[in-house]
Amino acid sequence: MELRIQYAKTSDGVSIAYSDAGDGMPYVTLNDIPFSHIQLEQQYGVGFQQLREMIGGRFVRLDPRGMGMSDREVDRFTIDGWVSDLEAVVDRLELEQFSLGANGFSGVIAISYAARHPERVSRLTLLNSPSRPADAFAAPASQSLAEMLVRDWEMFSENVGALAFGWGRDQARVFGEYVRACSTQDLARRVYAALASIDVTDLLPSLAMPVLVMHHDGVKYAPLDLARRLMSHIPDARLVVIEGVMDLETVFKPAAEFVIEGREQEPEADHVEPGGFRTIFFTDIEGSTELTERLGDANARDLLREHESITRDALASHGGSEIKTMGDGFMASFSSTTKALECGIALQRAFAQYNESASQPIKVRVGLNAGEPIAEDDPDGRGDLFGSAVNLAARICSRAEGGELLASEAVRQIVAGKGFLFSDLGESEMRGFEDPVRVYAVRWQAS
């Protein structure tokens, strides 16, 4: 089946080629850079047709800038530029949530995107992807290839398959033709020079989604130690070591199983059971009254719609149950305290991303508490929650500044050892509670 190539425009005006096939939960993939060419990859036996058939659903591929079918006239290569390529395609397709996969050095793009948009990436797969490409460049095979790249483009392309993957002469020669179609000698040198200065290791602890780290023992530029180092920094990661001949079916199988497993475990909004233990989640827009007075009712309402859309996306992505909206804020509940915290982190990051380009920023306060609320139906027949557990969550939210995520001692204790970072803000007097309440700030900014 011939793929339909389409284009998305980035914020800095670069045209990015992508293909989009199938229906259902999307899987977006990036091939190793600069060896990406979505139109020719199947013809040269390096394509993703088998992976698409294994996974099913909606399958999206793209060529980052400087290679394949995308614009090659690029002034300079940066991690921000490559991330914007992925953002342009995802936004063009209006993908609210998807699994993301990366092969080789494109892993730095996927890691950076997932850290910036955790509310969108449900699962992440990384194959032979070092977080610091310079570590892979230090391998003897990489150094030999670097010398060839400087001296002879054809020699480099003919030897990539042999020196990087251990392929035989015929297979390496065919791959060499593909390499020359993907890029030029000058572009490849510039891509590798840019990669040598990129290090996304500090972003790994902020990856809140499940991550599959795959390592093929036949890849000579990425020793197993690099995969183990990746694993040690990611909170929810699993490692699969692939042995033997590097054929597509063997490599793709673990990724397909991981993505399918995620689809089967997609979170659904949970339901409140009487007397059940819940994590209560409150949000509130800082200075909403002043905003309305300054902007006027119509413009303020437009801003509230943005707030509602971003908040509901985060709740839906993390299995939260919206209890009610109070105009400038939400009350929600979670059966999982971990998911509630992950939702709060994703929410604050989403608003931070929105505020970067918004003429009027939205600063949201978030407060969490855990306990056993009273569940009752409100006059409209909808479920509502009452009691001291709910009241304390609301009080904690009111103590937050815009952009802060605050939690109670109960929340901190429940998630102890799960990688969340808390700052003790001390005890505070709160209306309706006899004893002072200890409150913690949750760090959500990516390092």
Q: Given pLDDT bands bounded at 50, 70 and 90, which one contains residue 404?
A: very high
How confident is the model at residue 264, as a pLDDT? 64
How confident is the model at residue 88, as a pLDDT? 95
CB 251 within 8 A of CB 300: no
Q: What is the pLDDT of residues 111-124, one digit of tens each?
A: 999 999 988 999 99
DSSP state of 96: S
| pLDDT, average across residues 217-242 | 82
Q: Given pLDDT bands bounded at 50, 70 and 90, which one contains residue 381?
A: very low
23-32, 284-293, 307-316: range with lowest mean pLDDT: 284-293
How confident is the model at residue 383, as a pLDDT? 63
* Spatial CA neighbour of 25 closest among 85, 95, 92: 95
Q: Residue 61: which region, alpha, beta or left (left: phi > 0; alpha: psi -120 to 50)?
A: beta
132-136, 227-231, 267-271, 320-324: range with lowest mean pLDDT: 267-271
Most confident by average pLDDT, 101-115, 138-152, 288-302: 101-115
Q: What is the pLDDT of residues 197-212, one digit of tens each?
A: 999 999 999 898 999 9
244 pLDDT above the threshold of 90: no
**Unique residue bearing structure tokens 């939260």:** 320
How confident is the model at residue 26, as a pLDDT? 92
3-state secondary structure string across 323-345: EEECCCCEEEEECCHHHHHHHHH
Domain ranges of the chain: 5-264, 278-442
> What is the overall mean pLDDT for the chain?
85
The Cα–Cα gap between 397 and 134 comes to 44
Q: How many other C-beta atoms lie within 10 A of the C-beta of residue 1?
A: 7
CB 216 within 8 A of CB 246: yes
CB 123 within 8 A of CB 57: no
Work out the angle at residue 324's Cα, subtended by the Cα atoms of residues 291 and 411, and round it to the nearest 5 degrees.
Answer: 95
Q: Sign of dihedral through CA atoms 390, 391, 396, 401?
A: positive
Q: What is the pLDDT of residues 247-301, one digit of tens each?
A: 666 778 888 889 888 776 655 444 444 456 789 999 988 887 777 777 777 777 7
40-49, 85-94, 137-146: range with lowest mean pLDDT: 40-49
Q: Looking at domain 278-442, what is its CATH homologous superfamily? A: Nucleotide cyclase, GGDEF domain (3.30.70.1230)
Q: Which amino acid, one-letter code, is at 293?
A: E
CATH architecture, range 5-264: 3-Layer(aba) Sandwich (3.40)
**Unique residue bearing structure tokens 């079918």:** 69
How confident is the model at residue 269, as a pLDDT? 45
How confident is the model at residue 133, as a pLDDT? 93
**Unique residue bearing structure tokens 């929600």:** 332
